[in-house]
Structure 1
Amino acid sequence: MTENTVTQAWFPAGPFPNGICIEEDIAGRLATTFCRRLNPFASQTFRMMEHTSIHVRRADHVGFAVASLDESLRFWVDGLGAQLVRTGEMGGEFLGQVTGAHGAQVRMAIISLAGQTIELLEYRGLNRSTVLAKPFDPGFAHLALVVDDIDAILARIATYGWKAQGIPQPIASGARAGTRVIYVVGPDGATIEFMQPPASVQDL
């Protein structure tokens, strides 16, 4: 294990309320950056270790907030063939501290689809915006699913109120060249991307 030392010191900087950091890198060069310090008068030596104790083990699940848990289950289970794992309810201090939804109650369901665990959450007791977010809004997320027949999927999910955002398009180049892709948006504003690899890849 090796380590490098970077020394940082804070100096007042006129119009810049957070001050200036003078950083000395591992080659001894000085670099000036504007930065924020909780304790602006303290100098610190930060030891950057080659190995750290932070380790993300795996992704556990993806979650969607829904207006109606029953309607959402109808889409995921009946429409896409997901398996219902369990249902439950949450509320109180636990829910408020974890999600920020203080004073709310939530009905939840865990489903499994193509090896992916999905959590569906119907929050109650909150004032929600009536304007749905768009797939291109900052902070918006989506789930991508690989399918065999994208056209059949689009026809099926339309009966559940999910709408394609355009016409499926093939990826022009790269490792996934020929894969047809499309975003679909559900009644609650949730977004799924469907991906259909070319037949030569599906047959492998």
Structure 2
Amino acid sequence: MSIKAIGHVGICVSDMDRSIRFWQDGMGFEVLRQSEFHGRSWRRILELEELDLHTRIIRRDHMTLELLAFDKPGHVGSAERRPMNQLGFTHLAVWVRDIDAVAKRVVEYGGAIVEETRTRFDHPRLKGQWLICTDPDGVRVELVEYPDGEGILEPA
């Protein structure tokens, strides 16, 4: 197959400063690049008639996100958490060492915790704790704390 790697995941945001505060200060991402896009060629690829777009490329470990703030034509939709069974993108998952400390930072930097999602598993092939939170625009982020700091599944 000719795919080299996943480049990034794009997230439309309603307020770039607020989102940078959450993702950079709250979640530890680093801003790699900021850009502005205007003009016909970008309108074509983004499938928008008007375009006044500001972006930030941010990275943490091996995860790269592109935050997109549309001044024109503006954003559509609400910041409500989407149902997990709605078609399309459902969530980002991040592995954490201390789920409660990260949850506290999520709230401190403008996100929300969905406490009723807190789940613990103690199964031979699946041990750990999960908790759903959202960024300021309702993007679902799954916090995952593994007791050994490793991954999810052992070979069957």
Name the TM tier (shorter chain): 0.7 to 0.9
Matches within 5 A, 1:90-105: 90-105=37-52
> TM (normalized to structure 2)?
0.83
The aligned counterpart of 2:132 is 183
Out of 76, 79, 103, the residue aligned to residue 23 of structure 2 is 76
1:96 to 1:172, Cα distance in 2 relative to 1, 3 A: farther
**Counterparts of 2:109 and 2:10, CA distance in 1:** 19
Which runs of structure 1 show a deviation greater than 4 angstroms over 4 or more consecutive aligned residues? Answer: none
Report the alpha carbon displacement of residue 168 of structure 1 after superposing the two structures with TM: 2.0
For residues 136-191 of structure 1, the C-alpha deviation after alignment (integer angstroms, 9 at most, x for no partner) is 2222332111000001111111022211222421235463x122112211221212
Structure 1: gaps of 5 or more residues: 1-53
Aligned length: 148
Bigger RCO of structures 1 and 2 (CA < 8 A, at least 6 apart):
2
**Counterparts of 1:120 and 1:174, CA distance in 2:** 38
**Counterparts of 1:114 and 1:135, CA distance in 2:** 28
127-136 vs 113-122, greater mean Cα deviation: 127-136
The aligned counterpart of 1:11 is none
Secondary structure at the aligned position of 2:137 is classed as coil
Matches within 5 A, 1:58-137: 58-126=5-73, 128-132=75-79, 134-136=82-84, 137=86
> Larger radius of gyration, structure 1 or 2?
1
Amino acid at match of 1:169: T
1:167 to 1:66, Cα distance in 2 relative to 1, 3 A: same
Secondary structure at the aligned position of 1:85 is classed as strand
**Counterparts of 2:135 and 2:68, CA distance in 1:** 15
Structure 2: gaps of 5 or more residues: 151-156
The aligned counterpart of 2:119 is 169
Q: Percent identity?
A: 27
**Aligned partners of 1:75 and 1:157 also within 8 Å:** yes
